[in-house]
Amino acid sequence: MSTKAPTERQQEILDFIQSAQHSGEGTPSLREIAAHFGFRSMNAAADHVRALRRKKLLDSRPHQARSLRALSRFSVRRRPIVDIPVFGTIPAGPPADRYQEAEGCVSVDVESLGIRPTARTFALKVRGDSMIGKHIVDGDCVILEHGMTPRSGDVVAALIDNESTLKTFVIEKGKPYLRAENPRYPALVPAGELVIQGVMVALLRRTKPV
């Protein structure tokens, strides 16, 4: 079944959301949408947003503010393109402080990547060289799924003793730890807490211009 096309006003709102996301400003709130289009109340903005969600042109994370995610207006007519929020950088090296708030989106062709993004899908930019054995290098963008239970050998974004990092999740003798894929870096054994924030489901690499 084909997705019903948006009205002219709905398309304008969809374009406004996409433009804000791609500029790095993040997702506009209902108040900001209402102000931009001159609506007298946020209810009008909310009605349009609900209509776009029914038409499967918008997605969002439940119970989370500013989590609207625009699906490409070309996805209905061509291939399914999805905007995935990018939540800053994550070190593929020594662990560092938690990564930043969302700083924009990356548009992906889900058929080419072979993934099915959900409201829990997010992306992180890689910084460092500890995962080169998995062909993950500095500047790559990893796409992860929050809420998945990792299997031994999966690449994960993890919070280990309150510091974030990208490593391979390993379980040996019933105990989990994080393994770097570069012999220059040691394994990370949690002294206290190990929280898996996302399991990698895809990798994006931007080729540098010659």
Contact (CB, 8 A) for 43 and 31: no
Q: What pLDDT, on a 0 to 100 scale, did the predictor assign at position 99?
A: 52
Residue among 178, 169, 106, 170 nearest 140 (CA): 106
**Distances 69 to 15, 88, 120, 191 between C-alpha atoms, Å:** 11, 17, 11, 37
Domains, the chain, in order of start with CATH, read: 1-78 (1.10.10.10), 79-210 (2.10.109.10)
Q: What pLDDT, on a 0 to 100 scale, did the predictor assign at position 142?
A: 95
Task: Write down the residue that tokens 């796409």 correspond to.
Answer: 143
Q: What pLDDT, on a 0 to 100 scale, did the predictor assign at position 210?
A: 37
Average pLDDT along the chain, 210 residues, taken 10 residues at a time: 71 83 74 90 90 83 64 51 84 65 73 82 93 95 94 95 93 94 95 93 73
**Distances 37 to 21, 33, 57, 104 between C-alpha atoms, Å:** 17, 6, 19, 22
Q: What pLDDT, on a 0 to 100 scale, did the predictor assign at position 65?
A: 59
Q: What are the catalytic residues?
A: 130, 167
